Amino acid sequence: MDFVEGEVLYFNKPLHWSSFDLVNKARIGIRHCLGVKKIKIGHAGTLDPLASGVLIICTGKKTKQIDNFQYQTKEYVAKIMLGATTPSFDLETEVDATYPTDHITKELVLETLKTFLGEIQQIPPTYSAVKINGKRAYEYARKGEEVEIKPKTLVIDEIELMDCSLPEITIRVVCSKGTYIRGLARDIGKALNSGAHLTALERTRIGDVKLEDCITLEQFQFLLDHSSDIVVPEEQV
């Protein structure tokens, strides 16, 4: 492995870690292994701390490929609780309102999910990294300030109901770059004349990279400690 010339690493990001946390841990491990002070490294698509799954990390000259990975189709498996909303559309914040769910059936859910296939308009969550007047949306949200967030055009290639244990459902979504599954949960709740929020999220694929192709940080550290094919630069980068 030559981290300076560049490597593309497939990680399974753990729950409660930010994408930056994982990048930083990988950076520290590589720097220590190579005995260098600096190494180019970055991830190709943020995952929220409350989500787990595929996170692609590029090093060295391969960081130039990050944009290519970011634009690839992504697949998620999401658990959604119907009948209640939160300001962040997930479990980061407390429930702020409840709604009826007695009218919701599996058949209604199936018909509703079909309406989200293809090109859709989605307003990103207020608790998101979308920039508004030079600041992240979540900076306004955490101060209780209201701002207008413009809708974005997205594409949902596939949406499948995997489990229907009302009031909770589990769906599989294949979608374009920029899709907020939290936002999709909110919109599904509204379409069902109720409310909804995300309770669990796992990214299972980016392009052709699947979850089973990924390693944990512990496995990566083991490779750093025991692999014999790591190229150590003659000079610090």
- Nearest-10 crossing angle of helices 106-114, 181-191: 120
Which one is catalytic: 21, 48, 90, 102?
48
35/98 Cα distance (integer angstroms): 55
Answer yes or no: are the C-beta atoms of 183 and 89 closer than 8 Å. yes
Which distant-in-sequence residues (6+ apart) come within 8 Å of 70 by Cβ? 44, 45, 177
Q: 225 an active-site residue?
A: no
First to last CA, the chain: 16
Q: What is the DSSP string of 198-224?
A: EEEEEEEEETTEEGGG-B-HHHHHHHH
Residues acting as catalytic residues: 48
